[in-house]
Chain A
Amino acid sequence: DAKTTQPTSMDCAEGRAANLPCNHSTISGNEYVYWYRQIHSQGPQYIIHGLKNNETNEMASLIITEDRKSSTLILPHATLRDTAVYYCIVQANQAGTALIFGKGTTLSVSS
């Protein structure tokens, strides 16, 4: 079973920041928070991951609360090409452990 809770859908205007929340209240100490996205009919694309510190890369920022029970993925300037299903996954970073996908959040970016 997926260990995360995400809103089913969100809308965002092009050029604005998209803030996607994720609840993971049962996260264990050794589990990371991963974010992937899937554009229609493509394989999932890695976005970012973190353990407890906030992380930033060229695609997005990840803000993890101090108690690690929730996180927010931030796309700073959303474009139409960011329209996708976004998956928040918690998983230990160890050999042989598959990522288990929940239902994710469908983000629709409009002009």
Chain B
Amino acid sequence: GAVVSQHPSRVICKSGTSVKIECRSLDFQATTMFWYRQFPKQSLMLMATSNEGSKATYEQGVEKDKFLINHASLTLSTLTVTSAHPEDSSFYICSAQRDSSYEQYFGPGTRLTVT
């Protein structure tokens, strides 16, 4: 089966610092990856679509200057939360869309806590 990894699995950072989250497709190529955010007791909310070699597309209400996305290769996308604040504390989940079939596979998620 297709495997998507995320690193780190959980991170605690101080308010005002930046945090980078990596999403990797381990055994398939993914031109497109997606970033979601999930608050407690809520469903996944799509934040942005990440395309290899081009700028990400952000959903309405998501600040592109705060959530920097880089998709430098067909197997890696990164999400950087800049100047993090406590309200950014959430569960961040990526998914990778396999180029050959368009199926989406999800990473295990990253728990971000901003103190």
Contact = CB atoms under 8 A, between A and B. Distances in A.
Given A101-B43, A101-B44, A94 B107 contact: no
A103 interface: yes
Interface residues of B, number: 27
Contacts of A104: 43
A98 B30 CA distance: 13
A103 B43 contact: yes
B109 A95 contact: no
| Contact residues of A: prevailing secondary structure | loop
Q: How big is the A interface, by class?
A: 20 to 34
A98 B37 CA distance: 13
Interface of B: 4, 6, 31-32, 34, 36, 43-46, 49, 51, 91, 93, 95, 97, 99, 101-109, 111
Interface of A: 36, 38, 41-46, 87, 93-104
